[in-house]
Amino acid sequence: MAKVKMVLGWCIPMALIIVALMAPAVAQAGTLQIWPDQLKIENPVPVTGYNQNHLRVGNGGFSAPLKLPVGTRITKVTYYHLGLNSGAYTYIYIARVKMGNGSEDVWAQSSEDSTGTIIPVDVPLSVDPIGDPIIRPGYRYYVIVNANDASAIFGVKINYRE
């Protein structure tokens, strides 16, 4: 019995020390929400103009910087699409750019749903050209969305873990 107490007296404190040392390594998860009014107009349609308010963007191209700490892993991207008729089309991509270079797509997806209902569209990690879900040093990251006049985007949600 004395041996058991001695072993337990040594094991329990060691286990607590190991857990305490590992605690900082536990990944923090979070969600970044990009609302329609946070997007900057990039590509308005010249004749009919673009649509943007606090609820949605449409009829143009819009972008916002993606600000996450270096080393963060993007785990999921979802955007909210509304298609009003058979010509509905929305497109989203996350791109990164290194100063002095062109941009590289990281995530991309489109939707042609025309049900007249706001739907979530999951954006798979791009396989081509890079498909790198980790925020790397030396790059700036952007969310770019496009919607034609028959559709709208009601925001973007980015899940990540540090």
Q: What pLDDT sits at residue 16?
A: 47
pTM of this prediction? 0.77
Task: Answer whether residue 91 is part of any domain.
Answer: yes
Percent of the chain with pLDDT over 70: 79
Q: What pLDDT sits at residue 105?
A: 84
Q: Mind listing the pLDDT tens digit for each residue in 122-149?
A: 987 765 545 688 999 999 999 999 999 9
Task: Answer whether residue 8 is part of any domain.
Answer: no
Task: Answer whether residue 136 is part of any domain.
Answer: yes
Of these ranges, 21-25, 70-74, 104-108, the one predicted with the greatest mean pLDDT is 70-74
Q: How confident is the model at residue 41 (pLDDT cuts 50, 70, 90)?
A: very high
Q: Are 119 and 80 in contact (CB under 8 A)?
A: yes
Q: Mind listing the pLDDT tens digit for each residue in 101-127?
A: 988 888 889 999 999 999 999 987 765
Say if residue 19's pLDDT is above 70: no
DSSP letters, the chain, are -HHHHHHHHHHHHHHHHHHHHHGGGSPPEEEEEE-GGGPEEEEE-TTT--EE-SS-EESEEEEEEE---TT-EEEEEEEEEEE-STT--EEEEEEEEETTS-EEEEEEEEE---SSS-EEEEEPBP-SS----BPPTTEEEEEEEEE-TTEEEEEEEEEEE-
Task: Answer whether residue 121 is part of any domain.
Answer: yes
Q: What pLDDT sits at residue 123?
A: 86
Task: Answer whether residue 4 is part of any domain.
Answer: no
Task: Answer whether residue 76 is part of any domain.
Answer: yes
Q: Provide the domain limits for residue 86.
A: 28-161
Q: What's the structural domain count of the chain? A: 1
CATH code of 54's domain: 2.60.120.260
Q: What pLDDT sits at residue 115?
A: 95
Task: Answer whether residue 141 is part of any domain.
Answer: yes
> 8: which residues sit within 8 A by CB, 6+ positions away?
none
